[in-house]
Structure formats: structure tokens, C-alpha cells
């Protein structure tokens, strides 16, 4: 009984000592924390201040760049707006200019047609002779033509001559032919005193089929303005195609209208491409497929 009482007393002393040690250790830790807290606080404050300063510096620079970009965008937007206004104004002006140009083109085309018509009327008594060798007319083209035309075309005329107003070669240099030693002769323009004589000469040339001077084949044509000649030459390919098909029932009316007669049906074309499209439907016998 006494021994148990002593043992309990010893256990109580050990427990009290243990609590005393724990309190002593806890107090030491609190004292250590109290000693470190000001240093850590100062370090943290310094670190925070440094970070804040860096962030503020970077943020201010960032804000400055954003401000500059915003200003540039505003300036760009303004310039784009002004450019759009100028473009819109230019487009409006361009539209008006296009209308004006289109109108003027029509006016010019109309005036050119009238000019060509007036020039063609002034050439009504002319013919153009192609293939006559240079200098074959001698010193007087008028005298030569007055005698040569009735003779080569077998025309009945007074004293074997036909009255002319003038005859001359077209201006410009001669062109070299396939044989470089023999240039192409320039065309001869002949103007008759009477329009009826011009008609007789062209009709006689058509009846003759072929007109020659020495060994040279001669061609006689109506004399047209350059504009009308250009329009008529545009049908050259169509006429060659008709000839290759053996079709001769065609004619080129003034100023430039190709008339083609097939199976007693006549068609007229003012556009070469339309004429070619029709000719391509024809066979070598001069008939239209399907008719």
C-alpha cells in the first residue's frame, strides 16, 4: 500500500517535470519567432516594394505603348475614312467620265461615218488600178489611161479615148515583193470626167474576167476612203472561203455589206464573224445542210 502511494507520487513528479519542459520549449520557440518577425517583415516589405515598382514601371510603359497604338489607330482610321471619301468621289467622277467617254465615242463614230461617206461621195468618179508596173504610164498618166483603158477593155469610145480629169500613183514608197528585185507597184488612181464612163469601165472589167498589161494581171476596183476600205477588207477571208467552196453568188455592197445568195435565198451580213459562221454551214455544193 505504501509502495503504491510512493509510485503514484513519483509519476506525478515526472508529469510535472514533463509539463515544465514543454512550457520551457514553447516559450523558447515564441521568443525565436518574436526575434525573426521584424526581419522577415522588413524583407517582405522590401520585396513587395521592389515588385510593385517593377510592375508599375512595366505597366506604365505598357500603357504608353497602348496609348501610342491607340493614337496611331485613330490616325489610321481617320486617313482611311478620308481615303474612302476620296475613292467614293473618284468612283462617282469615274462613272460620269465613263458615260461621257461612251457618249463621245458614239459621236466620234458617227462623225467618222459621215466623213467616210462624204469622202466616198467625192471619189464616186474614181477607180483604183492595182498591179500596173511602175513607170508603165510614161510621162503622162492621163494620156496613157485615156487610150489604154478603152483598148484593154474593148470599149467603144470617140477617137478610141475616154475622157479623164486626172490620173496619178498613190503617194508613198514602193513595197518589195517576193522577188526583192521587183517591187510591188503603187496603185493608180484614175478620175473620170463622167461618172457614166467610170461605171462602163468597171462593168467591162467584170465582164472581161481578167485584165492584163504585158505579163502582169491588173485589178480594177472602186476607190473608197481608207475607213470604208478597212471595213471592206474585213470580209476578205469570208470571200476567199466562198470562192474555195465554189460559191460565186455573192457581192459586197456599199459601204461594207456582204450579200450571199444560196438556193435563191439571200442573206446580208455587216459583221465578218457572222458571215464566216454562216459560210461554215455551207458545203462545197453551195447548199445549206438541212434545206
Summarised one tens digit per residue, pLDDT across range 4-63 is 554 555 565 565 555 555 545 554 444 444 545 777 887 888 888 888 888 888 778 888
Give domain 124-223's CATH architecture. 2-Layer Sandwich (3.30)
Q: Provide the pLDDT for residue 56.
A: 80
Contact 272/238 with Cβ under 8 angstroms?
A: yes
CATH classification for the domain delimited by 225-291, as one of 3.30.2130.30, 3.40.50.300, 2.60.120.560, 3.30.250.20: 3.30.250.20
Q: Using an 8 Å Cβ cutoff, are 221 and 127 in contact?
A: yes
Q: Give, for 200, the enclosing helix (H) or strand (E).
A: helix 195-208
Residue 200: count of CB within 10 angstroms of its CB: 19
Residue 204: its pLDDT value, please?
96
pLDDT of 163 reads 96
Residue 220 has pLDDT above 90, yes or no: yes
Q: What is the pTM of this model?
A: 0.60
Poorest-pLDDT segment among 31-35, 139-143, 206-210, 271-275: 31-35
Amino acid at each position: 500500500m505504501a509502495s503504491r502511494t510512493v509510485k503514484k507520487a513519483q509519476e506525478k513528479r515526472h508529469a510535472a517535470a514533463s509539463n515544465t519542459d514543454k512550457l520551457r520549449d514553447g516559450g523558447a520557440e515564441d521568443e525565436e519567432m518574436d526575434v525573426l518577425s521584424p526581419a522577415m517583415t522588413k524583407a517582405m516589405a522590401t520585396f513587395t516594394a521592389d515588385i510593385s515598382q517593377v510592375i508599375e514601371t512595366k505597366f506604365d510603359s505598357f500603357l504608353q505603348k497602348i496609348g501610342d497604338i491607340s493614337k496611331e489607330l485613330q490616325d489610321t482610321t481617320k486617313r482611311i475614312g478620308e481615303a474612302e471619301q476620296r475613292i467614293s468621289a473618284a468612283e462617282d467622277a469615274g462613272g460620269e467620265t465613263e458615260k461621257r467617254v461612251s457618249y463621245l465615242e458614239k459621236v466620234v463614230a458617227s462623225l467618222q461615218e459621215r466623213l467616210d461617206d462624204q469622202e466616198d461621195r467625192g471619189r464616186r468618179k474614181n477607180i483604183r488600178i492595182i498591179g500596173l508596173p511602175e513607170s508603165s504610164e510614161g510621162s503622162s498618166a492621163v494620156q496613157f489611161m485615156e487610150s489604154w483603158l478603152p483598148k484593154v477593155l474593148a470599149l467603144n469610145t470617140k477617137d478610141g479615148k475616154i475622157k479623164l480629169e486626172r490620173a496619178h500613183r498613190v503617194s508613198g514608197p514602193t513595197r518589195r515583193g517576193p522577188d526583192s528585185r521587183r517591187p510591188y507597184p503603187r496603185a493608180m488612181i484614175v478620175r473620170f470626167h463622167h461618172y457614166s464612163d467610170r461605171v462602163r469601165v468597171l462593168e467591162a472589167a467584170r465582164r472581161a474576167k481578167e485584165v492584163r498589161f504585158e505579163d502582169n494581171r491588173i485589178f480594177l476596183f472602186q476607190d473608197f476612203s481608207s475607213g470604208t476600205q478597212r471595213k471592206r477588207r474585213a470580209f476578205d477571208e469570208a470571200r476567199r472561203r466562198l470562192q474555195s467552196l465554189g460559191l460565186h453568188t455573192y457581192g459586197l455592197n456599199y459601204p461594207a455589206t456582204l450579200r450571199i445568195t444560196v438556193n435563191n435565198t439571200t442573206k446580208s451580213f455587216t459583221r465578218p464573224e457572222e458571215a464566216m459562221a454562216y459560210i461554215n454551214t455551207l458545203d462545197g455544193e453551195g447548199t445549206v445542210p438541212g434545206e
